[in-house]
Amino acid sequence: MEVLNRQESQEYERQIISQLICSRLNRCEITASNSHTVRTEYPESFGSITQPSEETPDDSSQNELQASTGLPSHHTYGLELLGMKNLHQVYRNLSIPELVEHAVMRGEGRLADNGAFCVETGKYTGRSPNDRFIVDEPESHHEVDWNRINRPVSEAIFEQLYQRSLEYLQGRDLYIFDGYVGADPKYRFGVRVINELAWQNLFVHQLFRRPTTEELDNHHADFIVIALPGLRSDPDRDGLNSEAFILLHLTRQIVLIGGTHYAGEMKKSVFSLLNYVMTKRNVLPMHGAANIDASGHTALFFGLSGTGKTTLSADPNRRLIGDDEHGWSEDGIFNFEGGCYAKTIRLSQEHEPQIWSAIRFGALLENVTLDPITRKLDYNSDRLTENTRAAYPLEFIPNSVASGMGNHPQTIIFLTADAFGVLPPIARLTREQAMYHFLSGYTSKLAGTERGITTPQSTFSACFGQVFFPRSPMVYAQMLGNRLLHHPQTQVYLVNTGWSGGPYGVGKRVSIQHTRKMVSAALNGDLDQVNYKPHPIFKILVPESVPGVPPEIFDPKLTWHDPIAYDRQALTLAKQFAENFKQFANAPQEIAEAGPVGEVVSC
């Protein structure tokens, strides 16, 4: 009796599964009959690194592959131009039911009782910022803001891992998604994602913009993403930090991902590419949500995790343009994506009915606890992670905007969750203050949200998501300032969804009902008719009243039992703002002076 070693056993299992899928779905015959209609194009820049080290296999090698697997040769949809050869089966833009069938047959996850497909991502249940690198090469070197977030990796290491990925792919099944990012046809980019897992291909199918049949026949790939969770780095040999790696080549517009199953790495890597290339087309890329009312008035919502961005932008009285990534061009706002990637921890039908209803067949759930027998979901469980996620197409939201486009914004909301209880619940910002707070990107982390955090801590992330922006934050802030200058009707507000009456543990969180009323007043123009007074430390303009909201909450100092303690806490936070802003030494003086002062100023 022949005994297979582990590697041979895995290879045998992979081939058996592949043959079962081919038999079940009859894809081989379909692929062969349709192969002559497929045309795939790549930019010339891909060829400079992706040519195979050997010549593309000839017919004899294809015949050898056929003999070894028992399967007919097949079309590779241009993957040979990327150096990929000796592939097993290649599937391109399968339908949602087909992708779910493939994922089920491969044992990649399970179906929940509501029809959603559930997976567990293993060790990595969130992004791995320490394993994200940007290739340091001459053309983009001077444009990248090199820092602890944008870490460099040499072209030699990139090429080394790319060649290793080509070896890894031989004999494997692959899934291709050809689609787009950018709802505005003037600014959209073709994206090709290559996956070894069917469920990850389902993810990108739902998150990016899906092509029509005609667009698919003539698809042009500007961006290439290769996601191989099973390929691990050797940190000692490759000079990286762990077995996981996310490598971005900005000039060649290629992303190489390995060692992590977390699907958000694909989404945010493409976002990082867009944040680099969109600035060259005079489009301000933004990490924020957008919605629009019946009159065509568009609003933007910026905010870090935990500030209420998703909740407040999902307004039943307004239509959702998108929940996370947008561009602001000379023509207006447009969504980069075609889907949503929502957090689901403690999700309830009562408080987030739109997200609840969107989780059905075709949706993908990451790390949500699933009863193995009843297949019921437990959204309250953090057994695997607090960062449980749902991915679904935008059309699963009933009042979404199919075009993904909107007018220039009339209102911009900066959201913060101030756990120190010193910021007012809402304040209007001048253009200079808007640029200052955009560069600051302040919120606070609470005890328990991360290991080692026992008291509230200030968090500053420029552009409300600095980890996704390759260029200097000043580039994006100047673009925002220019747009506010050209659109003076646009009002910017800072909304604190955090604490009032004292810091976390003493005060209480601002009522979500009150926050909704304040945001609605800003969106409806009601705040244009009220009086304002500047905050004595932060200098932002605080309204004296908002319809339906108790007036005493607008002066945060009055909500504290000890006004001296309030001033002390407010000045401490002001100093943290000033310390953080030292990194922007090249900021114009009027922007730097728009920040808080170091002592209480009587108003």
Give the count of beta carbons closer than 10 Å to the beta carbon of residue 428: 19
pLDDT at 35 (0 to 100): 39
Tokens at residue 141, please?
């070197």
**Is 268 noted as a catalytic residue in this protein?**
yes
CA–CA gap between residue 543 and residue 537 (Å, rounded): 15
CA distances from residue 61 to 68, 73, 101, 169, 381 in whole angstroms, order as listed: 10, 10, 31, 16, 51
> 201 falls in which pLDDT band (50, 70, 90)?
very high
Rounded to the nearest 10 degrees, the angle between the axes of helix 6-25 and helix 27-34 is: 70
DSSP E strand stretches across 282-322: 284-292, 298-302, 319-322
Between 494 and 386, the more confident residue is 494
Question: Distance between CA atoms of 336 and 268, rounded to whole angstroms?
Answer: 11
pLDDT bracket for residue 58 (50, 70, 90) = very low
Strand partners, 427: 494
pLDDT of residue 136: 98
HSE value, Cβ hemisphere, 13 Å, CA-based, for 242 = 14
Q: Please give the mean pLDDT across all residues of the chain.
A: 89
> Is 533 marked active-site?
no
**305 noted as active-site residue:** yes
For 29-48, what is each residue's pLDDT tens digit? 444 344 334 455 666 656 54
What pLDDT, on a 0 to 100 scale, did the predictor assign at position 24?
A: 57
Check residue 372 and report its DSSP letter: T
Going from the C-alpha of 476 to that of each of 209, 324, 330, 412, the distances in angstroms are: 25, 17, 15, 15
| pLDDT attached to residue 54 | 41
Catalytic one of 309, 445, 483, 514: 309
404 Cβ contact list (under 8 Å, min separation 6): 183, 184, 209, 321, 322, 334, 335, 337, 338, 394
Residues 6+ apart with CB under 8 A from 351: 311
- Among 127, 210, 428, 431, the one annotated catalytic: 127
Contact yes or no for 132/151 (Cβ under 8 A): yes
Q: How confident is the model at residue 543 (pLDDT cuts 50, 70, 90)?
A: very high
pLDDT at 17: 66
pLDDT for the residue numbered 11: 62
Active site (annotated) includes residue 280: no
Band of residue 23 on the pLDDT scale cut at 50, 70, 90:
low
Give the confidence band of 61 by pLDDT, cuts at 50, 70, 90.
very low
Q: Is 343 left (phi over 0), alpha (psi -120 to 50) or beta?
A: beta
Q: Which residues of 201-216 are buried (b: 16+ CB within 10 A; e: fewer)?
A: bbbbbbbbbbbeeeeb
Domains annotated for the chain, with CATH where assigned, are 6-281 (3.40.449.10), 284-328+408-592 (3.90.228.20), 342-396 (2.170.8.10)
In the chain, the percentage of residues whose pLDDT exceeds 90 is 80
For residue 73, name the pLDDT band (cuts at 50, 70, 90). very low
pLDDT in tens, 465-518: 999 999 999 999 999 999 999 999 999 999 999 999 999 989 999 999 999 999
Say whether pLDDT at 56 is over 50.
Answer: no
Check if 400 is active-site.
Answer: no
pLDDT of 10 over the 90 cut: no
State residue 365's pLDDT score. Answer: 98
Q: Provide the pLDDT confidence category of residue 65 given band limits of 50, 70 and 90.
A: very low
Taking only the tens place, the pLDDT of each residue in 561-579 is: 999 999 999 999 999 999 9
pLDDT of amino acid 9: 57
Contact 162, 256 (CB under 8 A): yes
Tokens of 20: 């079962």
64 compared with 590, residue with greater pLDDT: 590
Catalytic residue chosen out of the listed positions 307, 310, 311, 313: 310
Selecting among 305, 430, 459, 545, the annotated active-site residue is 305
Task: Identify the active-site residue in 106, 172, 268, 428.
Answer: 268
Residue 193 · residue 204 · CB < 8 Å: yes
- State how far the alpha carbon of 451 is from the alpha carbons of 260, 262, 454, in Å: 21, 20, 8
Pairing type for strands 364-366 and 339-343 reads: unpaired
For tokens 């290629």, name the residue: 254
Q: Tell me which of 318, 389, 428, 483 is the catalytic residue.
A: 389
pLDDT category, 311, cuts 50, 70, 90?
Answer: confident
CB-CB contact of 129 with 149 (8 Å): yes
Mean pLDDT for the stretch of residues 253-280 = 98
Task: Give the pLDDT confidence of 312-371 residue by residue, as tens digits.
Answer: 888 888 999 999 999 999 999 999 999 999 999 999 998 888 899 999 999 999 999 999
Out of 209, 287, 297, 557, the active site residue is: 287
Residues 238-258 as b/e (b if ≥16 CB within 10 A, e otherwise) read bebeebbbbbbbbbbbbbbbb
**Rounded Cα–Cα distance for residues 379 and 368 (Å):** 6
Active site residue 287: yes
